Amino acid sequence: MTKIGILGAGAWGTAVAKVIAEKGNDVLIWSHSKAVLEDVNQRHTNSRYLPDVVLPNNLQACDDINEVVNGKEYLILATPSLYLLDTAKQLLTAPSIREGETAIAVITKGFLPSPKGPRLILETLEDYLPGFYRQSLVYIAGPSHAEEVSRGKVTGLIAASESPKNSIRFRNLLKSPRLLVFSSLDVRGVQVAAAAKNVIAITFGMLDALKNRTTSSGAEDIFGDGTESLLLAAGLNEIQTLGMAMGATHPETFTSISGVGDLDVTCRSVFGRNRRFGREIIEKNILKPFAGLDDIIDRIAEIGYLPEGVVAAKHIKALGEKFKLKMPISTGLYQILNREIEPQEFLNSFLEEMQ
């Protein structure tokens, strides 16, 4: 029996914990919510994030981060990007981390802020963790939804690392007949694809909500399934453009499951929070209470769920300016979230640019 710690008891952290525990491993998951702790430990479920999913008895929850981390062979970080760095800093007190005895992987999607601007997750964590972890962390992503993985739906993931050995170790830890895991050395490309696709998915959700509507003037709606595919393809191009600018080593990363696969499922699945947020921008005018993008981020808990693409939109805007990239979809979403333009105005101008 292998001992695994998972930091973050949201839907994705819990789903991954369930898969690992079902293989006979002892899994301890960290949560600061008393309700979640009681739910997992007493009723063997996480009804807040994964309703109606029964969890194995060897999956337990704890609110002491040191207990969850110390003495584990594997540690998986699953806290949202907004809180990931603060969580990582707490690892330094654990002896098994200080000595480099625990292999670490990250399943969080996004970028992290720094005095020099937005950075990728793994390179940022390497600056805080002991030197043992440089070029040995593993990043796990792919076209997946916690709701499906926790219910045994066949899914594929990528375990990317500069350390082939650690990539294989986490691949073996996670893989099952219904969870296929593949290795990659393109750590930077996989991270960019995982973060940037959430920005495209918010825009996709807006377009999806507008697809069957008529304009305020009563004119016939011009958006259809083909328009969505046009947006998806253009979005993939932006993701690849950003990825290569940030040091991706393999162009095929963006045509693999970590690129086009993850983008497609995030845009089209009913489980996608970013797609949902985009739809609610149109259907519920969800941006109305907010003054701009920074205000949304500061009050993001008021949304009721966490669309990671909101935070990523701010970072990608800065990265686009840094590398002098043309990314009209990402830039347009930033302007929408910052209350500079309206969604219909952006989509119309985007189509005009494509001509």
- Number of helices and strands in the chain (H, E): 16, 12
pLDDT at residue 214, as a whole number: 53
Extended strands (E) in 203-353:
none
251: left (phi over 0), alpha (psi -120 to 50) or beta: alpha
Q: 60 Cβ partners below 8 Å, 6+ apart? A: 27, 28, 29, 40, 41
Distance CA 104, CA 5 (A): 10
- Find the length of the chain: 355
Active site residue 197: yes
Summarize the annotated binding site for NADPH as residue ranges: 12, 32, 49, 109, 146, 273, 306, 308
Rounded to 10°, the helix 308-323/225-245 angle is 60
Would you state the structure tokens that stand for residue 349, as one six-digit string?
Answer: 């101008």
Residue 137: its pLDDT value, please? Answer: 98
Nearest Cα to Cα of residue 340 among 291, 307, 300: 291
Domain spans of the chain, in order of start: 3-185, 188-354
Tell me which residue of 271, 1, 297, 18 sits closest to 9, measured CA to CA.
Answer: 18
CATH architecture of 188-354: Orthogonal Bundle (1.10)
Q: Which of 3, 18, 89, 197 is catalytic?
A: 197
Provide the CA 249 distance to its chain's centre, in angstroms: 21
Per-residue pLDDT of the chain (355 residues; tens, 9 = 90+): 799 999 999 999 999 999 999 999 999 999 999 999 999 999 999 999 999 999 999 999 999 999 999 999 999 999 999 999 999 999 998 999 999 999 999 999 999 999 989 999 999 999 999 999 999 999 999 999 999 999 999 999 999 999 999 999 999 999 999 999 999 999 999 999 999 999 999 999 999 998 867 554 455 578 889 989 999 999 999 999 999 999 999 999 999 999 999 999 999 999 999 999 999 999 999 999 999 999 999 999 999 999 999 999 999 999 999 999 999 999 999 999 999 999 988 988 887 777 7
Annotated binding site: 8-13, 32, 49, 109, 142, 144, 146, 197, 262, 273-274, 306, 308
Dihedral angle at the C-alpha atoms of 163, 164, 169, 173, nearest 10 degrees? 110
pLDDT of residue 217: 44
* Cα dist from 288 to 23, 106, 130, 201, 279, whole Å: 46, 34, 44, 20, 14
pLDDT of residue 10: 96
Measured CA to CA, the distance from residue 308 to residue 290 in angstroms comes to: 17
Tokens of 227: 């328009």
Can you say which residues are annotated as belonging to the binding site for sn-glycerol 3-phosphate? 109, 142, 144, 197, 262, 273-274
- List residues forming the annotated binding site for substrate: 109, 273-274
Beta strand pairing status for 26-30 and 119-120? unpaired
Q: Domain 3-185: which CATH class?
A: alpha beta
| Per-residue pLDDT, 53 | 98
DSSP 243-268: HHHTT-S-GGGGGSIIIIIHHHHHHH
Q: Residue 176 gets which letter from DSSP? A: B
